[in-house]
Amino acid sequence: MSATTLIPVLLLLAPFIPALLSAALPGRARVRNAINISFAALKLALVGFALAGVEAGAEYEWRIFFVPGLELILRLDALALLFVTLSAVLWMATTLYAIAYLHGTAHQARFFFFFNLCVVAATGIAMSGSLISFFLFYELLTLATWPLVVHTGSAKAMKAGRIYLAYTLAGSAALLAGIVWLESGSGPVEFANGAALSSFGTLSQSLIFILLIGGLGAKAALVPLHPWLPAAMAAPAPVSALLHAVAVGKAGAFGIVRVI
């Protein structure tokens, strides 16, 4: 595997490995904290390497067939690197904050497992080279953030979790419907190439666009799809920072830019 295909994979592994190690080390707080900080620093280094490579004209892409006719594509272009850089910087900041904030509290191993899984999903969203790749990581983000929203287990947190799932899963259903409708006429859509719309009438194009943007707007907290976000502030402060800054809100906004 060459550097051009290895870098996207390493950017995903950088948060995925500490997620697994955090779950495997429930009683080793110091070791777990050191692992999380080290891999956050590693991701920053990888992002710096990728930024220099793209500046020099390198193209980073990894793809693999995961079902017949569809590929999982990770591609680093300028827009992807903007979001990956944002996630890497904020991952380091929120990791340091979370370690101090959660000191002495229960279920830290579970927290850091899902916390790092959120970073995996956000990184995958940024590097997704196709609509179906984007959708897979987009749904992983929902599954990874819900346990963080309800982390404290309080009645307020559980209510916030239900509101969060109601909005995000409804948005996901709309997004999936738009993707299926679009790709049924255009074939698999890669962001670099755009979609062939010649088989769709003006009304169909408009409805597909509404489904895609509406589905993404739920996570972007666009009015009137925003009530989940203030409710989710029942989560611990590091989670609130993650939801606002990169993992959900910005992921939705990033998806809107990609689709347009």
Which residue type occupies 120?
V
Rounded Cα distance between 7 and 124, Å, is 12
If you average pLDDT over residues 194-219, what whole number do you get?
88
pLDDT for residue 242 is more than 80: no
Q: Which two tokens stand for residue 130?
A: 């196709």
pTM summary value: 0.89
For the chain, how many structural domains are there in total? 1
pLDDT at residue 199, rounded to an integer: 82
If you average pLDDT over residues 148-156, what whole number do you get?
83
User: Residue 195 half-sphere exposure, CB side, CA atoms within 13 Å?
Assistant: 24
If you average pLDDT over residues 50-76, what whole number do you get?
87
Q: Which two tokens stand for residue 102?
A: 């959660």
If you average pLDDT over residues 98-124, what whole number do you get?
87
pLDDT for residue 47 is more than 80: yes
pLDDT for residue 234 is more than 80: no
Q: How confident is the model at residue 223 (pLDDT cuts 50, 70, 90)?
A: confident
Question: For the chain, what is the mean pLDDT?
Answer: 87
Close Cβ partners of 26 (under 8 Å, ≥ 6 residues apart): 108, 109
Which residue type occupies 186?
S
pLDDT at residue 179, rounded to an integer: 93
- Per-residue pLDDT tens over the stretch 78-95: 889 988 998 888 888 888
Domain span including residue 232: 3-259
The burial class, CB within 10 Å (0-12 / 13-18 / 19+), for 227 is middle
